[in-house]
Amino acid sequence: MKKYLFINVIALTMIGCGGGGGGGDSKTTPASSTAAASSTPLSSSAAASSVGPAAWSLIWSDDFDGTIVDATKWSFEKNCYGGGNNELQCYTDRADNAFLVDGKLHIVAKKETFAGQAKGDDDPAYLATDTSQTREYTSARLRSKSKGDWTYGRMEISAKLPKGQGLWPAIWMLPTEWKYGGWPSSGEIDIMEAVNSGGAVYGNKVHGTLHYGTPWTHEGTSYTPATNVWDEFHTYAIEWEAGEIRWYVDNIHYMTQTSVAWFTNGSTNDTAPFDEKFHMLLNVAVGGGWPGAPDSTSVFPQEMVVDYVHVYSCGADPVTGKGCASHVDSAIKVTPAAVVPSGTLSGTFTIYDNAVNPIWDNGISKWDNSSNVIVTSEVDSGDVVRGKVINIKYGATNGVAYIQSSTVKDATAFSTGGNLQFDVKVLSYGTATGLLIKADCVYPCTSGDIAVPGGKVADGVWETITVPIATLVTGGLNLSKLNTPFVIFPTMDKQAGVELQVDNIKWVK
């Protein structure tokens, strides 16, 4: 859930157990089933027979049977930060946004103007009394941090989800101590996410995902339950053991990931980063980079209703979590290792979207013959959906602004059907007659200077520019040793007074 801005989002899903899809209220220990034989080798756990109910021991739970949210189990995040995803809501601790009724937790997203904290709760600059950020929606985000933290086990949640454009409910986990570094180095486990449920694109899908790196990498898939997730309760679960995580919906196993694929730059341990304590989060976001903003079809209030949260320890081996795999579908193949984008770029990748993708580790740079006339900065666009953008001021001396990596990438997959795409807004043209772009393959290897289509974009408005990668190749770009995927500059010898902003820079395949 946390950040989807650097690379295109992959749809994902989750698992469930102990109730069955269809709105049951039962809050039970997971039942077992025996995995069918398979001629295809799976993980060691998945290949073994499933175990009986006694293998799983309930160690933490909330059945929401009280009158208020249990403060010994949950804390409220209170901020209007936007979740790192350009989200549009303020998270509050008000009963309007989270309350208990009839043994269920209701997390309610409302359309209303609210002012709150501009920084996230864990930001050193967070100020509880801050009301400098105003949003047009409110919601709630609960977390079990330091009140429920686990390494390995079965996490099972029964929930009914909101419906509509711009709604983004999530049941997920973050590291409690961030031992391997900041996000995504210490990992993120998305048990369940859904976006724009009931709409034409995502329909009834739910998604499960792992995030790790750096460079930031995410792997997951989606699953479509038999009945609507907004009409009925479904159980979403993961079974997490050393080196392996399995996802389920209503006891249907739909994805397995193992440490063969995941990694972190913060440790050489085979099972890192998913070998430390994680805590759980429950929230409903509004808007953001994945679902987009609500529209005229969106109806508020919307809510995620949670029947229960159960966490189990594996009785067979509580230390590693191994030996308790249940409801295993032998047809589910282990998700293969991701292509790490530090060397080979085979699919759409982001260069800048609210921040520089860390695979371009030299960041936002400039060349102006050491005259220091070019000034680059990241600024708030004033648009809550767009978020931060790159602002570039040029001067009397010729120069360029660019984003670059310290290592070369192989982008030959983009030779056919690939495009460089970005948004640009010109604040002032000065005396320039147009804009140019290029890409470099360890200078002086370059695509050459290429005028943006039309040569000049309109003043003061955002425009999306698309340039075929084939055009860059024709100009001389060697895709097998790409290190600078984006360079932008005004007409040479006419750069004084030019100021522009760029955003959503990516190569699309």
Residues with catalytic roles: 188, 193
Residue linked to tokens 């936002």? 364
Q: In angstroms, what CA-CA distances link 328 with 178, 191, 210, 322, 372? A: 31, 17, 19, 14, 61
- Per the CB < 8 A criterion, the answer to whether 142 and 75 are in contact is yes
Q: Look at residues 17, 14, 37 and name the one whose alpha carbon lies nearest to residue 324.
A: 17
* Beta strands, E only, 133-216: 133-139, 141-143, 149-150, 153-160, 167-175, 188-193, 206-212
Q: In angstroms, what CA-CA distances link 473 with 209, 242, 345, 349, 481? A: 35, 45, 16, 18, 12
Q: Which structure tokens are listed for 331?
A: 């047809």
Strands 400-404, 484-490: pairing kind:
antiparallel
- Per the CB < 8 A criterion, the answer to whether 83 and 285 are in contact is yes
- The number of residues in the chain equals 509
What single-letter amino acid sits at 42? L
- Residue 338 three-state SS: coil
Please give the Cα distance from 67 to 167 (Å, whole number).
27
Q: Kindly give, in sequence order, each residue whose CB lies less than 8 Å from that of residue 268, ignoring residues fewer than 6 positions away.
A: none
Q: Which structure tokens are listed for 241?
A: 């053991």
Please give the Cα distance from 123 to 14 (Å, whole number).
29
124: which strand partners? none
What single-letter amino acid sits at 239? E
Helix (H) / strand (E) containing 469: helix 469-474
Q: Look at residues 400, 491, 481 and name the one whose alpha carbon lies nearest to residue 452.
A: 491
Q: Which structure tokens are listed for 193?
A: 């996410």
HSE-up of residue 394 (Cα within 13 Å, Cβ side): 30
Query: Count H helices, E strands: the chain?
Result: 2, 29
C-alpha radius of gyration, the chain, whole number = 24
Please give the Cα distance from 108 to 155 (Å, whole number).
23
Please give the Cα distance from 381 to 385 (Å, whole number).
9
